[in-house]
Structure 1
């Protein structure tokens, strides 16, 4: 029926608005210039330009693990291809093991003597020219080394380096590269274990930030690596095992073949195998495990006599692990000591790996590598291409969440190779975003919603949880360099705000259809390349079909937030309702307005961002035709309005 109240005006409580100032549309919607201008290398549409180039590094590595001494020694041969237009007189390499030296920059505040090593000891640094080897001079600077070339490396030429090195493997205090104790022997989680070329790119030349535990930025290439270990060790590594006949028993090979066609896990090595010395191919000496991985930025491995091992089929097309090798089924694999055995623990790990690989492949970009491995060890929760290190004592749901998160890093930043040392939100934030949806998808939401502190630090409601960050004057912005973000804000800003920004973009601004198309395009365009934040912003605008400068400025470069208020509601005898809405915030998100009627029905409208381009005081007229008892903004708490006290007005008849 028609509205029975001729004119009812309700004005917001003035005390609520005291001290607030309406937003200035000219400032919020001012033209926004991204840090990097488009050029021949990076286009205005956010994809690589016609002149884009990227250097390439191929590694052949032979390493030996002296398990009793907790030491690793290795020899690597590197082919470095200079695809840049520049002539290079030096190359820079990363020596992350120097992080554990007592005199490293990261240990400037002091560290216990027993928690230090001598770092990477370089024995040979040489180039190879026409079959001859020439020693090169070099300068070690903390976790980097600058190598002076014998002659400048011209554009489109190759450099061949020979490097020999050794180091002591840290204990559990090493975290990302460590050994830890298990009942049946030490578990070695070997990452950041070889000298690696730094990135030389069109934006900065040599990228030489020291390693302060802010992860990595690496070139892509092919890896051929061999690991020699004691005879009773099981080794898993990034990529694929190339010499199963040299290290696996007939039983192990048969079980692996079975796993290649199984939708459920197959035990390759069980407890009975760990307890039986005859379960290995050898009974003394050493064994060399040979792995390979193509088009990757890194490789890591794990080794232990304590490993149980299971695997199951990944539902993706078979791939060849290396030129000259036939295509093989791809496997989701897990290795862990007996401490991990549990129906609610590592017995389910390979199921989690399989789901993550298949889900992310279907949703965003096909997984490119042969296998994916979860290692149960010390529990650093750390990711490398094709292999992740998690905790042997983790159980559901924490094991599911950490496994999915670390496996998700295969997409960000292992496939899309952003600079983690500068722009951590493109790594942790992007990945936290995709693995939150994976939690919703797994087994009809068994572990949904994702509840780990990286994504939902307080209530589990993102729009509420992010408010303390947005209202904290000391909180850094997402564009703050990774090394400048303190531990206090690392998860709440880098992970949580980074992820929630994409969720807002997908669910509130662009909508899932436009967002997904744009995000997939961005991933495909920058797969195995090095995008900058500006490339991402431009790609989402161009493909998403939206001018988002206001959002980039507000969410990424500052800590802007929405703050709306219902100022008044006026109803006339014609059935129209005039709702006056004020905008105090500097992040003009689309906002849902809900009118509740006396008969229990509701009328919904969305106020788009464009409402606020000319004024922060707008009136919306809605034809309702029946009495209205309240007006609410964002009743479902989908946007991070920092002051909800003035979001609702209840209407009473005079």
Structure 2
């Protein structure tokens, strides 16, 4: 898509309904679906301005956010009949709200695998039953006196309510909650976490693997939406976690490996140090070395891997004895660095496959950091395993058989989730269009940029990926009367529309906003400011809308109404070309009408008899008072045709009326 600056020199907008009628020129009268007062009506923001959330879309002066810090000790047992994970965690929970809390709510996402879970029924069809979910061995609380006492708790589907022995004070009150648990690791069903076989042995992708604090915020208090597989909404904090596995296995997880000297060989430590200073991919454990016992620091027994991560809402890890491993330095703004790593089984190796994974990962993180916001964590990991296409802070799970453009696209997309919603903490369970759509938006630019467009363009539709135009591909979605609006609760969107709306329409809306409405010079600073203001916080849709209007310098009510609150469609048309007042000596009037409810800025291309043409940038306000607007062409040039949106930059539903040719020309 292309953005052209508005040329005041060459544009004069005027109402011309009566003039066209007087001249008797051919003109469409199909304006029944367009009412300027409706299309330009004020947009009712989903949430009001208050002391917590400002009118400019940034956190308000009284904004607060609770914090959850974790210390977790877990053990993976692959030898039982069906592998299992057991653990104990201590959550230091800080209540920064102004409220006293008498209960805590936690998320028990493993319970979605139980036979009677809401997730099973919400899918509308029977689903396989995998496990008994979380089995809770102990729930205790320390209110600050250094002594843990048993706490009453109630499990309700994928939530747990813990009743406190006394109220937790607001404005900085803290406690410690200790929970011991175990569960059977489900198989591939569910897609979020899984274990499965590679050619040389099993791979365990572990996520949603510990009870996690629910969010208590200024919008709903405790946000206890059940887990229906619509991803997550979590508090931020710092994590120390320890994972004990058989010594033959390697563990790769979110954050920094704290004890490499205990779990890696000396040679691997040296190679890892080299990778931290290398822009070229460094092999740390080659596919040929995977079966070599010498690549493990000890034989028999177990090893405990210790990871640490700050300022994150979650952690995940993978464990296996079959991983090859490579890495390279990530170059970040202001001279900072991070580390890109890929781990994969031997069947995934090769230059056309996972041999380029770290190259893809490194480039994506560098590009997103340069364009939008610097990557904040020490490592980014791409895992080839059974849980394909899933993201967590600092680590993503992709497919063993991914290769070529598919591997590039899924790598860029999944690590892009590091920005949305891992840095900018959107509520994925309610607003999937924000995390999926925003992420799809930024990864389209990564596809354009990588290696001079080697895998571009990527517009998140098969039509566009094949070289077509994404705005044409979205037209059937926009015209489908059953399609949900973007401002729908995520759980209500059926699979038929989930990708089309949450990913595709949302991302295309941001491209329209950036390239057709605001232009990069206004969009980019506003978008970066929004990201920076809400990094490691919890923005809502209204915060985004306000931020882009305030910093972008534009009343965008017509766009929020048409694209987000409704599925309105666009139909701009060149209705007529006629002499001004019937006199060619006064010039030529080109009339453009809006025939449907959605309006957008558009390019009008006027072609002349001498073979030249001129482009006029018609702002959305061209139709703010009337159904038609006109552009006057000065005398001396003979107009032969005019076309609105000649580059197909807009999702215009009826292109047959976009081009008007003068008879006999």
TM-score of the alignment, normalized to the shorter chain, above 0.5: yes
Match of 2:166 in 1: 151
1:249 is matched with which residue: 256, 265, 280?
A: 265
Deviation at 1:318, TM superposition (A): 10
Assess, with a 3 A threshold, how the Cα gap between structure 1 residues 614 and 447 changes in structure 2: closer, same or farther: same
Checking the alignment, whether the CA contact within 8 Å between 2:225 and 2:429 is kept in structure 1 is yes
Checking the alignment, whether the CA contact within 8 Å between 2:333 and 2:374 is kept in structure 1 is no
CA distance in 2, matches of 1:292, 1:236: 12
Query: Which whole-Å CA distance do the structure 1 matches of 2:576 and 2:461 have between them?
Result: 39
Change (3 A) 1:10 1:387: farther
- In structure 2, the residue matched to 1:621 is 632
Show the counterpart of 2:142: 128
Say whether 1:36 aligns with 2:44: no
1:546 aligned counterpart, secondary structure: coil
**Match among 408, 425, 438 for residue 400 of structure 1:** 408
The counterpart of 1:141, out of the listed 131, 145, 156, is: 156
The question of whether the paired residues in 2 share the 8 Å contact of 1:432 and 1:496 is answered with: yes
SS at match of 1:380: coil
Which digits, 9 at most, give the CA deviation of each residue in 1:393-450, with x for residues without a partner?
0011000000000000000000000111111111000000000000000000000001
Classify the secondary structure of the residue corresponding to 2:585. coil
Equivalents in 2 of 1:584, 1:177: separation in Å? 48
In 1, Cα distance between the equivalents of 2:383 and 2:326?
11
Measured in 2, the distance between the counterparts of 1:112 and 1:410 equals 30
SS at match of 2:244: strand
Match of 1:103 in 2: 116
CA deviation digits over 1:364-396, x for unaligned, max 9? 001000000000011420000000000010011
1:186 aligns with 2:202: yes
- Deviation, 1:596, is 1.3
CA contact (8 A) 2:385 2:398 kept: yes
> Deviation per CA, 1:569-619, whole angstroms, max 9, x where unpaired?
013433722012211121210111111112211111111111111111222
State the secondary structure of the residue aligned to 1:447: coil
Per-residue CA shift, 1:165-220, capped at 9, x if unaligned?
00000112242111010112100000010000000000000000011110000000
1:530-584 per-residue CA deviation (whole Å, 9 max, x = no partner) reads 0010000000000000001111111100011221111110134337220122111
Distance 1:460 1:354 in 2: 28
Deviation of 1:116 (Å): 1.5
- Say yes or no: does 1:360 pair with 2:368: yes
Tell me the equivalent position of 1:437.
Answer: 445
Specify the SS of the correspondent of 2:234: coil
Tell me if 1:551 matches 2:565.
no
* Alpha-carbon distance between aligned partners in 1 of 2:520 and 2:459, rounded to the nearest angstrom: 22
Query: Which residue number in structure 2 is paired with residue 322 of structure 1?
Result: none
Unaligned runs of 5+ in 2: 1-19
Structure 1 counterpart SS, 2:262: helix
Q: Hey, what does 2:657 align to over in structure 1?
A: 646
> What secondary structure sits across from 1:181 in the alignment?
strand
Distance 1:171 1:10, change over 3 A: farther
For 1:226, which of 222, 236, 242 is the aligned residue? 242
With normalisation by structure 2, the TM-score equals 0.93
Moved more, 622-631 or 559-568: 622-631
Contact 1:563/1:585, CA 8 A, preserved across alignment: yes
Displacement of 1:316 after TM fit? 2.5
Aligned 8 A contact 2:206 2:317 in 1: yes
Q: Does the CA-based 8 Å contact 1:356-1:404 persist in structure 2?
A: yes
Match for residue 530 of structure 2 among 512, 522, 527: 522
- The partner residue of 2:521 within 513, 522, 525 is 513
| Whole-angstrom distance in 2 between the partners of 1:200 and 1:455 | 42
Pair 1:32–1:273, CA change in 2 (3 A): same
1:71 maps to what in 2? 84
1:450 counterpart SS class: coil
2:429 to 413, 421, 435: 421
CA RMSD across the alignment = 1.9
Native 8 Å contact 1:9 1:570 kept in 2? yes
1:590 aligns with 2:605: no
Question: How many angstroms does 1:336 deviate by?
Answer: 0.5
- TM superposition score normalised by structure 1: 0.94
Shift of 1:12: 4.2
Instruction: For 1:379 and 1:78, locate their aligned partners in 2 and report how far apart those are by CA, in whole Å.
Output: 27
Question: How many angstroms apart in 1 are the aligned matches of 2:618 and 2:127?
Answer: 58
Q: Distance in 2 between matches of 1:460 and 1:484?
A: 30
1:330 equivalent to 2:338? Answer yes
Q: Say how many residue pairs are matched.
A: 636
Is contact 1:261–1:312 with CA below 8 Å preserved after alignment?
A: yes
Cα distance between partner residues in 1 of 2:234 and 2:118 = 21
CA distance in 2, matches of 1:610, 1:348: 48
Match of 1:579 among 590, 593, 601: 590
What residue in structure 1 maps to residue 37 of structure 2?
A: 26
Check conservation: 1:451, 1:460, Cα contact below 8 A: no
The equivalent position to 1:87 in structure 2, one of 100, 104, 123, is 100
SS of alignment partner, residue 404 of structure 2: coil
Q: Partners in 1 of 2:67 and 2:605 — Cα distance?
A: 56
In 1, distance between residues paired with 2:60 and 2:147? 39
- Contact map agreement 2:457 2:465 (CA 8 A) in 1: no
**Aligned with residue 209 of structure 1, among 210, 215, 225:** 225
Q: Which moved more, 1:191-200 or 1:571-580?
A: 571-580
